[in-house]
A and B are shown apart, each in its own frame.
Chain A
């Protein structure tokens, strides 16, 4: 364990270009996935919270259940979709970072949507009469509630980011762990483990953990700052 921490420090200290590329790709892929998943999941989660429609309970159960979607299954589904013999084959997206963004978005969409639904539904309890009185219908209430729930929703997005950046099975299948192209932190860790380089693998793990902690810290700090500034 100590060896791993020492190696991690050494890796960081030497500013290894390959490592920097891997770390950069991990962050770009997972942050993009959070962005696209969030773009869809926040309004969808809020809409499910506010609107009553036939099959709403089924949608809620499905979203909650899909939070546990096995990454390998998601990976296979996207593989079959993007493979040259699949429906989206002509786009040539398999084994590219774009494919990894797609599969990670699929994995974190249910997490962000389900948590958003819970957060917005609690907030709606509190806001419903006030917003109705001010003349905002349910549809108009969605952006209002998303904005007023922003500090809690950031936590939902971070949960999605955590799942995306820590996930290996899905990105391995659709990304292919190609050196310099689709190799991210987790697939690099899996590769080094397979090579028996446990110390290096653990060192990469330490770096991944550190990055995750930094990003969560930044989000928390920004949240506190914003809360003081704009309430």
Chain B
């Protein structure tokens, strides 16, 4: 490994994503920098998950480009090493809780005692200390999501993307996840999360990026957007998010796991 490559700021320049003949996102310009917390909001199909995947380099834009730090692409391993992502339904590897965290460390070349102590630290950070030897797949939904957070945080990324991290959880488990995300931020990790819940956005975000139909409609301070949205779509969304597309369950929104 050479010098540490910074992943921030992340700049999307004229980025668009098309599937077949359908344009799903963009073209848009957007920058994430600083150390604040961003909530990406918007109705189903607005392109929120897509935006996160583009920033994390899981998919490539069909037009424009994503630049991380000075010159890196998000698919560059040195860049992605400084990023982490927590999926709406994270995949638990078929091994123990601790081995799941160690897996992430090993992939970045951290092994042995150093890796074990970092894994223990990450597990305590999310309140899973003592469950290290359990099979990951027997954990409850909330515990699994916290394990995913530990696995993402263990490399102390500059930025963490979270795709509706609590949408599949009951309120108590969701609260535990929220406070964990808050702790990560206090330790210096830039947070970018997608959410449907204005309440969650208020608790976890400093600013809101509001999307609709594959484009960014509004970007504002969280409190400002949540109390006085400027756009018509934003007003409609906050007035009754469930009327936007009532046929689709929120959990299915944008998901690539269905």
Contacts and interface: CB of A to CB of B under 8 A. Distances in A.
State yes or no: do A and B touch (Cβ within 8 Å): yes
B138 interface: yes
A31 B65 CA distance: 53
Given A135-B104, A140-B107, A126 B91 contact: yes
B197 interface: no
A129 B58 contact: yes
Interface residues of A, number: 19
B107 A231 contact: no
A135 B138 contact: no
A126 B77 contact: no
B147 to A, nearest CB: 12
A152 B136 CA distance: 18
Interface in A118-138: 126-127, 129-137
B53 A134 contact: no
Contacts of B136: 231
Nearest to A134: B104
Nearest to B138: A231
Contacts of A144: 93, 103
Interface in A187-231: 229-231
A134 B80 CA distance: 9
Contacts of A150: 94
Interface in A134-156: 134-137, 140, 144, 147-148, 150
B81 interface: yes
A75 B165 CA distance: 57
B103 A134 contact: yes
Interface stretch (B82-90, B215-223, B243-251): B82-90
Given A126-B257, A230-B95, 19 more contacts: A126-B91, A129-B53, A129-B87, A130-B91, A133-B85, A133-B87, A133-B152, A134-B151, A135-B108, A136-B103, A147-B94, A148-B93, A229-B135, A230-B96, A230-B135, A231-B94, A231-B96, A231-B135, A231-B138
